[in-house]
Amino acid sequence: MNGLKQHYAKIIVWAILLTIPYWFTYVGGYLGLANEIVIYALAAMALNFLLGFTGVLSFGHAAFFGLGAYGTALTIKFLVPSTLVGLAVGVLTATVAGMIIGALIIKRRGVYFAMATIAFGQLFFFIANRWNSVTGGDDGVGNWHRLPINLGFAKIPLFHNSLVYYYFTLLMFALAVGAMGLLLDGPFGRSLMAIRENERRARFLGINIELHVWISFVISTAICGLAGGLLALLDNFVNPRDLRFDLSGVLVVMAVMGGMRSFWGPLLGAAIFQWLREVLSSHTPNWQTYIGIVFVLVVLFFRRGILGFKLSTVKS
């Protein structure tokens, strides 16, 4: 019975995502906001892969989000004028950074791990902000745009057609979410959950804790880099704000608000956060205060997030 409910929940989620461009305007949204929701939901779900299913908190995921964005933008502007190549380089950049940083901090836990991720995140922010000749400094990387995808027999017009770009983003989201779901539903995912529940007992069972956490960290950073690349393509622009540590905090808020141990929780959290931000910021400059109040209420009355375990499933 529970499996049947989860199946119906997945159908509802994908039905909403597939049809959102056609009804979102009726609830005060627009296509660009729908794109942002999907992109930030992907980043929050990537963080939750590490936080909710492995039990390791990172406050530096904005660094990998920003590296994916910069890798995509710089590749298209200076190296190869191709949307797919730029996106691939952005993901690769975030992945390599995640592999190196993960190897350096893998033996840290708790607040020490979180603080180390903040430190590395600020390092990348400082580089992007100061390396004017490459990154443009605080002005960012502009004067470029996403390009049509040439399939040989046809071209996909990503630049001039926002609706097509939304479904391109949704396709990337589906591939990444599907990969995470498959991993979490297999032996590797069960090992991660064992580490989350009791690391010492998992070690006694013969699980290589450091290796599993490192792999989880790398996967999480790679998918976060993909989200950053997609945002860069959406805006046709990137600047150091995509690397700021407060974005890492926003991703944590999205994951906690929706439900850390729910696979789809961060998606709901991202949707609520981005929609509230859009609505409240058009009425008051103090919109963050009201979102903070909502977050406090969620923490007080929904201790495991809005979804909690009710729709929790690792299958995409």
Q: List the structure tokens of 159.
A: 């630049």
Give CA–CA dist 305/162, Å, rounded: 32
Residue 312 maps to a domain:
no
Average pLDDT over residues 142-150: 88
Give CA–CA dist 237/226, Å, rounded: 15
- pLDDT beyond 80 at 158: no
Phi then psi for residue 156, to 5 deg, are -95, 115
pLDDT in tens, 73-112: 999 999 999 999 999 999 999 999 999 999 999 988 888 9
Residue 307 maps to a domain:
no
Number of independent structural domains in the chain? 1
- Expressed as residue numbers, the domain containing 16 is 2-301
Query: What's the confidence (pLDDT) of residue 155?
Result: 77
Residue 252 near residue 270, CB atoms below 8 Å: no
User: Which residues, other chains included, contact 261 with Cβ-Cβ below 8 Å and sequence gap of 6+?
Assistant: 52, 53, 304, 305, 308, 309, 312
Residue 275 maps to a domain:
yes
Residue 311 maps to a domain:
no
**63 band by pLDDT with thresholds 50, 70 and 90:** very high
**3 band by pLDDT with thresholds 50, 70 and 90:** low
CATH number of the structural domain spanning residue 144: 1.10.3470
Residue 306 maps to a domain:
no
Q: List the structure tokens of 223.
A: 């998918």
Residue 313 maps to a domain:
no
Share of residues in the chain with pLDDT > 70 (%) = 95
Average pLDDT over residues 138-160: 83
- pLDDT beyond 50 at 316: no
DSSP sequence for 104-136: HHTT--HHHHHHHHHHHHHHHHHHHHH-HHHH-
- pLDDT beyond 80 at 288: yes
CA neighbor of 58 nearest in space, from 68, 45, 48, 66: 48
Range with the lowest mean pLDDT among 6-10, 162-166, 180-184, 190-194?
A: 6-10
- pLDDT beyond 80 at 125: yes
Residue 149 maps to a domain:
yes
Residue 47 near residue 252, CB atoms below 8 Å: yes
Residue 99 maps to a domain:
yes
- pLDDT beyond 90 at 304: no
Range with the lowest mean pLDDT among 118-127, 143-152, 160-169, 304-313?
A: 304-313
